[in-house]
Amino acid sequence: MSSDRLDGDTNGIARQRPMYTESQVIMTTVKAVIPFVLTYGLFITFHGTSSPGGGFQGGALVASVVLMIAFAFGIESTREWLSNSLVVGLGTVGVAIFAGIALVPMALGENFLDYTAYYPVLGDTLGLKEYEFVKYGMEAVEIGGIAFIVSGVLMGLFFALAAGVTPPSGTASDAAEASDSDGETDVDDGETAGDTATEAGENE
């Protein structure tokens, strides 16, 4: 796709940046750096209650690992490596976990997100004190909720931006124009017929 545009502007008015250039320096640097960034991201996520940071910052760092891999080794190959269900699943499961942890206390007759509501039910089983339920409830929300949502959505936004706009149907823009003129038909029959004819002529 990008190579087409590259060929089109050899006259020097504007030039297109290539989407991906294989670089030994970037690939080596990314290979060396990503284990540390991933570990740091997970550390920040898991230590959100006892040190600066939390699910949002950690999730962003974990997502930035995928972004770095994509920049070094090509966005298309990274997109094929990560399945869509993983990226969407991270975000959706995150919302489900957060909402689940928040709603179960309501089912138990307490307030929304009242972590202490878990204490009478699970206190003996897990052997935790009442305030510890708040701590581990917050951990669960940070890790299973916010970190999942943020990392999934950031990865998804990245791939969606890289892919750009997909035409509604088919490959050419003819489909879009056809559906446009269909919409106009309901409003004004006479003009639309003429428009469609003109557009058909232009397309051919």
Partner 1 sequence: MSVAVGITPIEASLFVFVLLTAVLTALFRDVLASIVVFAAYSLGLALLYTFYRAPDVGLTEAAIGAGVTTVFLLLTIAKTTRPASDARFESINWPAVGVCGLFVLVVGATLPAFPAVGDPASPILANADVTGYYIANAYDETGAENAVTAVLAAYRGFDTFGEAIVVFAAGVASLLVLGREVFTA
Q: Which positions from 75 through 104 interact with partner 1, judged by CB under 8 A?
A: 76, 79-80, 82-84, 87-88, 91-92, 94-95, 98-99, 102
Q: Which positions from 171 through 200 interact with partner 1, judged by CB under 8 A?
A: none
Q: Is 51 in the site for partner 1 (CB under 8 A)?
A: yes
CA distances from 193 to 54, 123, 163 (A): 59, 72, 34
- Minimum distance of partner 1 from residue 162's CB (angstroms): 6
Cα–Cα dist 180/196, whole Å: 9
Contacts of 107 (CB under 8 A, 6+ apart): none
- Kindly determine how many residues on this chain lie close enough to bind partner 1 according to the rule CB under 8 A: 74
Identify which of residues 106 and 200 has a Cβ nearer to partner 1 in the complex: 106
Cα–Cα dist 153/138, whole Å: 21
Burial class from Cβ neighbours inside 10 Å (0-12, 13-18, 19+) for residue 178 reads: middle
Kindly state the tokens that stand for 120.
């009478």
- Which contacts qualify for 192-195: CB closer than 8 Å, 24 or more apart? none
Identify which of residues 155 and 181 has a Cβ nearer to partner 1 in the complex: 155
Q: Is 32 in the site for partner 1 (CB under 8 A)?
A: no
Identify which of residues 5 and 34 has a Cβ nearer to partner 1 in the complex: 5
Identify which of residues 161 and 190 has a Cβ nearer to partner 1 in the complex: 161
- Minimum distance of partner 1 from residue 111's CB (angstroms): 9
